[in-house]
Homo-oligomer: A and B are copies of this chain.
Amino acid sequence: MRIKVINPNTTLSMTEKIRAAATSVAAPGTEIFAVSPAEGPRSIETAYHEAQAAIGVLEEIARGEEQGFDGYVIACFGDPGLFAARELTCAPVVGIAEAAMHMASFISDGFSIISMPYHALSGMERLVRTYGMQAKCRRIRMLDMPVLDLEDAPSGSYRLVLDECRRALNEDHSDCVLLGCAGLSDVTASLSRELGAPAIDGVGPAVKTVESLVVLGLPGRAR
């Protein structure tokens, strides 16, 4: 099975993290191809970035159809272009935000989402409602930091994220945290260990969901 994992932004260090996260959970027969669009925003922090990024995602899907893929992952925790992407292919397309929320539903009574930057809150709220997760999502916690700080170790971003996750467990009474940014996919294991509770990023769940849909013979929406 060949899965194309599309990082909708153009920051290649993030694409590498995503590739690593996807590969680490892929089934033996699954090949992961992680790509970024040639053009587009360097990080996705606004609705404007999402609209731009959607175009890149759709081009990668269209190109993927020629290359012959069995499924696609949109690896940004805003799922840009998701519903449009499903119109371009009969293969399943899964966003990492929807995958994280649905997967968390099986193990969590109530989760918090940790994301950034602050003004992306209302977009995240719309996403939670779109997926019917109002009852499961106890709180959305937006950090006041740019996404690309995650690519910059000295920024201390890891510590900020960890502290916010701790607050989520203690104050929101959540039993797990969803890491609302693909740039956090490399610290999932480390955060889980320090928290003593699951930290879930969406890349892994999305890859496993695509694999499942393919095996189950469940096609995407374009039919």
Contacts and interface: CB of A to CB of B under 8 A. Distances in A.
Interface string A45-70: 01110111011001000000000000
Contact of A98 (B51, B84, B106, B217): B106
So how many copies of this chain end up in the complex?
6
A178 B25 CA distance: 28
B27 A84 contact: no
A213 B106 contact: yes
A88 B46 CA distance: 10
Interface of A: 25, 27-28, 46-48, 50-52, 54-55, 58, 81, 83-84, 86-88, 92, 94, 98-99, 102-103, 105-110, 118, 121-123, 125-126, 129-136, 173, 175, 189, 192, 197-198, 200, 204-205, 208-209, 211-213, 215-221, 223
15 contacts: A25-B216, A51-B81, A52-B55, A54-B54, A55-B55, A86-B107, A94-B106, A105-B131, A106-B218, A108-B221, A109-B122, A109-B125, A110-B122, A198-B218, A208-B212
Given A48-B87, A103-B212, 11 more contacts: A28-B28, A83-B123, A92-B107, A98-B106, A102-B102, A103-B209, A109-B122, A109-B125, A121-B173, A204-B216, A208-B215
